[in-house]
Amino acid sequence: MKLTSIKVLKYAFYASAGIAQLGTAYLVFSKGDDIKSGIQLLELSSTNTRLALLWCVAALVAFYAPVFARHFQGLQDRLRLNDKEFVELYKDSLQSAINDLIDVREDPTKSDRVELGILQTIVSLVQYYVGTNDETRVNANLMVPLDPNHPDCSNILFLETPRSEALKQCRWLLRIDKWALFEAEIPPDFCLPVYDPDGPFRNRILLGAPLAFIQRKTFLLNNTKRLRKHWATGVSTGVKLEMGRYFRNERKVLRSFASIPVLKDSNSPPLAILNIQWRRTKIFGSSAGLVQDLLLPFLLVLAHVRSVGESPEEE
């Protein structure tokens, strides 16, 4: 089955689910008594029984259509990996990243250019994988850890109050070092607090890049309107409201994102955090693990490139 056919079937099932849900709701509210009577009567010659059967069919479609739609979504994700154009793009991108790593080892001054190239490659791969276009573009940035007293971190967002006390509890601050594509909508000069995981603010670590940095694993947010289940237990109401406002203000460019640690080894803090964002929900589609596996070689190259010139600053 071709990729185009699978996409058509997927959207057809999603559309069927929506229509069926509306249909069942309409029948219940407008013909509820007739449906009940038809079920009790169970005579095919009865109009009410036929109406009840129609309602049952609509209910079954409403329930099963999303299941089939998700099945075709998964099939679409897997088939896209076998697409010749994607395979060639992936192979050429990986070879280019490896060659760039060799160049950086010979000349560390090229690291900025190489990091930018890797970010742009990652954006291209994710963009192709999720089947998006420039109108709903994917973007990526690299956040680096800095000392809490670093002069480049005067603007700290989502800091607990009192701010002076919260700053004392920070082990690092994360600051955007570079974008794959310039993002005019998002403030360029801000830092995020990363509290000491062994200190009194350990239950206030923010979702996203700070949590990915501390846990050393990917943090995935499929919808920036749904934050409730991601909050740490100690995060204050004020910080929750501030972050909620931030995501509402940036909803035109940021509706879902993944924060992925760039790791040098199993013991050291991450060298950086790779953030990948999308203007739509579900940045990695229905196969988040698969996308992360695809990006792993580029993360390893990125870690080697960063380790050539710098390492995270600790207290």
Domain residue ranges of the chain, discontinuous segments joined by +: 3-79, 83-309
- Average pLDDT (152-166) is 93
pLDDT number for residue 309: 59
Q: pLDDT class for 3, splitting at 50, 70, 90?
A: low
Lowest mean pLDDT across 90-104, 149-163, 215-229: 90-104
pLDDT number for residue 314: 44
SS3 content of the chain, % helix, strand, coil (to 5): 55, 15, 30
Model-level pTM?
A: 0.78
Residue 28 has pLDDT above 50, yes or no: yes
pLDDT number for residue 235: 95
Contact 186, 250 (CB under 8 A): yes
Lowest mean pLDDT across 48-62, 155-169, 248-262: 48-62
pLDDT number for residue 197: 94
Residue 315 has pLDDT above 60, yes or no: no
Residue 176 has pLDDT above 80, yes or no: yes
pLDDT number for residue 244: 94
Rounded to whole angstroms, how far apart are CA atoms 93 and 301?
Answer: 12
Q: pLDDT class for 216, splitting at 50, 70, 90?
A: very high
pLDDT number for residue 150: 92
| Homologous superfamily (CATH) for 83-309 | GAF domain (3.30.450.40)
pLDDT number for residue 135: 58
Lowest mean pLDDT across 16-20, 205-209, 260-264: 16-20
Rounded to whole angstroms, how far apart are CA atoms 241 and 10?
Answer: 37
Looking at this protein, which amino acid is placed at residue 69?
Answer: A
Beta pairing partners, 150: none
| Nearest CA among 140, 81, 129, 121 for reference residue 278 | 140
Residue 76 has pLDDT above 80, yes or no: no
Rounded to whole angstroms, how far apart are CA atoms 277 and 186?
Answer: 12
The string of pLDDT tens digits covering residues 112-134 is: 999 999 999 999 888 887 776 66
pLDDT number for residue 232: 93
Contact 140, 180 (CB under 8 A): yes
Residue 20 has pLDDT above 70, yes or no: yes
Mean pLDDT of all residues in the chain?
87
Beta strands of 70-208 (E only): which ranges?
138-146, 170-179, 191-195
Rounded to whole angstroms, how far apart are CA atoms 59 and 52?
Answer: 10
**Is the link from the previous residue into 210 a cis peptide, with omega within 30 of 0?**
no
